[in-house]
Amino acid sequence: MDNKVRVRFAPSPTGPLHIGGVRTALYNYLFAHKHGGDFILRIEDTDQKRFVEGAEDYINEALAWLGISPDEGVREGGAFAPYKQSERMSMYKQYADQLIESGHAYYAFDTPEELDEMRQKLEAARMSAKYDATSRMSMKNSLSLSADEVQRRIDNGDPYVVRIKLPRQEEVRFHDEVRGWVVVHTNQMDDKVLLKQDGLPTYHLANVVDDHIMEISHVIRGEEWLPSAPLHVLLYRYLGWEDTMPKFAHLSLLLKPNGKGKLSKRDGDAGGFPVFPLEWKDPKTGDISSGYRESGYLPEAVNNMLALLGWHPSDNQELFALEELVQAFSLEKVSKSGAKFDVDKARWFNHKYLQERSSEDIASLIASDIESRGWNPEATYLHQVIDMVKEKVNFAKDIPNVANFFFEEPKSYDEKVVRKKWKNDVPGLISELGDALAQVEDFNASSIQSAFEAFAASKEKSTGSIMQPMRLAVSGQAGGPPIFEMLELLGKDTVVRRLKTASEVIPSGE
């Protein structure tokens, strides 16, 4: 690549960042790092009406949690500061003026009522209700009114907007790195507002001006912005910036699990999975939306899952650390079609990454839960328990539930196992098994196993018929870690005590 790669993620702080937006940020990050370029975070807050308290902090926190932090941004600073459009407001008007002077934009004075009237008339005539080359001459603007009248209105302080002047019949073409050539005719477009009545720019003007000034080389963004791209291409052309126009890459949507339409918060609520990276509390309604972080997902699992939703590595590798994603990522392998969200896959990724975390790490993730349950295990013991059970869970937070018997006496016994296996002679056998295991000198998995097998043989019982009652008696549960290792970790005293207790308190299944 000839010029320095500079990409930006440009969210508007209008609410919590959707997980699809996070994927856009991730792809920008990967692309920048792959090419030794810069990843910029620009806050696009020109639309003050849609501003939501806390949304900008949320974006920063989400990116930090995922470890995809920007090189330049509001917090990070950088040579192109400020990175928040509301702090750049004075920069945009000159470009609107330049476009008016070169004949590519014009003042429009129409009131909301007049615009409505136009829309109704055109709709009644079954024409598309657009402010464009066909309709503009019947409206009140600097193309239809005399120069004197325009000046009079401006001097008078009449409100106006600045609109782009699109040619009637022209093909706009550009190459999209994901989709190939995109061709749109200007007769399908309209004369979009560039500068609003309050003198502030719209998204289109601010976005193009900033991308140019910030020397952005590639615009990687969601598919929902594809319809705006031809307008942006024309703005680059009319502003004289076509030579350095960024390359475009429009990413396909993240789809609902059934593939029908865009993944929404409602799908997440219905399917029991988050669609936001972090929990979000709506500042107005107080409604809480769940987040990946609070639901127990590890950031590396979320990155890996998102990377594969829409990008396909050349082989079938599925597990990629962030650095490996950087190495493997390319826009050519980004898919044109939408990617279906798959919650089972998300959990699978989390499971895989949980196995790679050290037991110390996992212990710190569940420390407060362990403490609030009133457990106070020795660190080494806790780590051994974690190593023994983590294979059974997808989330660290599930460990205290599946491993509770390592920290406290069973509070209840799995009823199904009681019904099926706790036959009449079982309580007696379990009590005697307690006596037998009490004799085991060196209480390790293999000596426990030998003692257990010898005991079963002496009673002419199959090991299978006592194994599950034994597990039930010491853990209360139907399943769990390999039994003899589990007994070793629990220790002789605990095991013997629990076998005795169970033999007394569990009512016989028949």
User: Is 44 near ligand GLU (CB under 6 A)?
Assistant: yes
Q: How far is 369 from 51, CA to CA, in rounded Å? A: 36
User: What is the smallest separation between the CB atom of 246 and ligand GLU, expressed in angstroms?
Assistant: 10
Evaluate whether 150 touches 221 at the Cβ level (below 8 Å). no
- For ligand GLU, the closer CB: 23 or 221: 221
- For ligand GLU, the closer CB: 12 or 303: 12
- For ligand GLU, the closer CB: 59 or 456: 59
- For ligand GLU, the closer CB: 20 or 291: 20
User: What is the smallest separation between the CB atom of 250 and ligand GLU, expressed in angstroms?
Assistant: 10
Q: CB-based contacts of 354: which residues, under 8 Å, 6+ apart?
A: 298, 301, 362, 390, 393, 394, 395, 396
- For ligand GLU, the closer CB: 28 or 468: 28
Evaluate whether 129 touches 123 at the Cβ level (below 8 Å). yes
Chain position carrying tokens 């939703």: 309
Helix axis angle, 299-308 to 19-34, nearest 10°:
90
Helix axis angle, 426-438 to 445-458, nearest 10°:
130
How many binding residues for ligand GLU (CB under 6 A)?
Answer: 8
Residues 2-41 that bind ligand GLU (CB under 6 A): 10-12
Q: List the catalytic residue out of 34, 196, 247, 265.
A: 265
Could you tell me where the DSSP H helices lie in 373-482?
379-389, 399-402, 415-421, 426-438, 445-458, 463-475
- For ligand GLU, the closer CB: 220 or 346: 220
Record the tokens describing residue 335, joined without a space: 């898919």
User: What is the smallest separation between the CB atom of 106 and ligand GLU, expressed in angstroms?
Assistant: 24
User: What is the smallest separation between the CB atom of 228 and ligand GLU, expressed in angstroms?
Assistant: 7
User: What is the smallest separation between the CB atom of 153 and ligand GLU, expressed in angstroms?
Assistant: 32
Residues 170-209 that bind ligand GLU (CB under 6 A): 203, 207
Residues 202-241 that bind ligand GLU (CB under 6 A): 203, 207, 221, 225
Residues 370-389 that bind ligand GLU (CB under 6 A): none
Residue 3 φ then ψ, to 5°: -90, 165
- List C-alpha distances in Å: 99 to 138, 198, 202, 278, 296: 22, 18, 15, 42, 51
- Tell me the DSSP string of 267-302: HHHHHT--SBSS-EE-TTT--EE-BTTTTT--HHHH
Number of other residues whose CB lies within 10 A of the CB of residue 282: 14
Tell me, yes or no, if 265 is annotated catalytic: yes
User: What is the smallest separation between the CB atom of 225 and ligand GLU, expressed in angstroms?
Assistant: 5
Diameter over CA atoms, the chain: 113
Q: Catalytic residue numbers? A: 265
Which residues contact ligand GLU (rule: CB under 6 A)?
A: 10-12, 44, 203, 207, 221, 225
